[in-house]
Amino acid sequence: MQIYKVGIPSIAIAPLVSQLKSSLFVGPTLWIVSGGSNIPLSVEAMKRIDYDLSANLTLALADERYGTYGHPDSNWTQLNSAGFDPKRAKTIEILSTDNPSLEETVKKYANAISMAFYENEHRIGQFGMGADGHIAGILPHSPASLETSELVIGYQSQPFTRVTLTFEAIRHLNIAFLIAGGVDKHDQLIKLTSGGDVPLDEQPAQIIKQITDTYVYNDQIEGGN
């Protein structure tokens, strides 16, 4: 795990784009994107990927807020509203216009992600981290933090019902970028990078330590390898 302290988290866009382009030149690449504060970073990163090169790209969400397709709290809706243009990339949405049940939504997304892992040898995850240490939609001490085998899980939390990739899904990634800014993340970043043995259900972001290449960009703590 390589840790970089930067003035502003958006500095991470350049190395993220560099890694995406390198992978896309080689072959089909899966890019897992996150909501929240990472949305404008994803929008800018996508702008820097050549139109022709984007044909090798598959895009998928790390997590989604379950509800009617296009609802305003949806991560995908917010990503589109921010100006995200997938160009020629294949996109895998979690919600769909026929508004299936939570159970059917989870099953459909799990199948799609499983196929994306099979089709894309290069798999890059872009994540944020909550002030509680959550990653994707995996909240501490939630059903998602205890799931050990499925690729996707749906569960009720406050204030959203969530559909999220699980630890098992995140383990399928080759490379992860964790981009976190704000003083409210300081204590969680210390916990994440201190080298201590912290259970995944206590701090779900610990899962990135299990990915071969992980880069943490933040504005709070210094780091190294």
225 inside domain: no
Domain CATH number, residue 24: 3.40.50.1360
In a domain, 223, yes or no: no
Domains identified in the chain, total number:
1
For the segment 99-117, what is each residue's pLDDT rounded down to a tens digit? 999 999 999 999 999 999 9
Instruction: Write out the chain in H/E/C secondary structure.
Output: CEEEECCCHHHHHHHHHHHHHHHHHHCCEEEEECCHHHHHHHHHHHHCCCCCHHHHEEEEECEEECCCCCCCCCHHHHHHHCCCCCCCCEEECCCCCCCCCHHHHHHHHHHHHHHHHHHCCEEEEEECCCCCCCECCECCCCHHHHCCCCCEEEEECCCCEEEEECHHHHCCCCEEEEEECCHHHHHHHHHHHCCCCCCCCCCHHHHHHHCCEEEEEECCCCCCC
Is residue 68 in some structural domain? yes
Range of the structural domain that residue 84 is part of: 2-218
Query: Does the global pTM surpass 0.85?
Result: yes
Which pLDDT value is given to residue 224?
55
Q: Which pLDDT band holds residue 9 (cuts at 50, 70, 90)?
A: confident
pLDDT above 50 (res 19): yes
Residue 224 located in a structural domain: no
Mean pLDDT across the chain, nearest whole number?
A: 95
pLDDT, tens only, 160-213: 999 999 999 999 999 999 999 999 999 999 999 887 789 999 999 999 999 999
**Is 88 contained in some domain?**
yes
109 in a domain, yes or no? yes
